[in-house]
Amino acid sequence: MSRQFTAHVRVTLKPGVVDPQGRAVLGALQALGFAGVADVRVGKWIAVTLTAESEDAARGAVDAMCRRLLANPVLEDYRFELTAGAGERP
């Protein structure tokens, strides 16, 4: 029987890859007076709700989604947590 799972995927630029969006946010925060901010890195957070036969099957499917679409393996790292059931938040 198929069961529902939710994967929370975090996609981040690999360390060392220049992050223009992070630099822009850093500059904006400093301009707003947040003097203590030293660095900002911006990534994506993606919640995927799916049905699968088992937790292993769901995990394999989400890993394939990350490799094929959600992350650019040259520039980005990804990691995800899988929970049973629906819902945007763990």
Q: Give me the residues paired with residue 83 across strands.
A: 6
Q: Which is nearer to a second copy, 2 or 72 (CB)?
A: 2
The conformational region for residue 87 under phi > 0 = left, psi -120 to 50 = alpha, else beta, is left
Selection from 35, 59, 38, 37 nearest residue 48 by Cα: 59
Pattern of binders to a second copy over 5-24, x per CB under 8 A?
Answer: -----xxx--x------x--
Q: How far is the CB of 54 from a second copy (least distance, A)?
A: 12
Interacting residue with a second copy among 44, 56, 72, 73 (CB under 8 A): 44
Selection from 62, 34, 37 nearest residue 47 by Cα: 62
Residues that bind a second copy (CB under 8 A): 2, 4, 10-12, 15, 22, 25, 28-29, 32, 34, 36-52, 58, 61, 64-65, 68-70, 86, 88-89
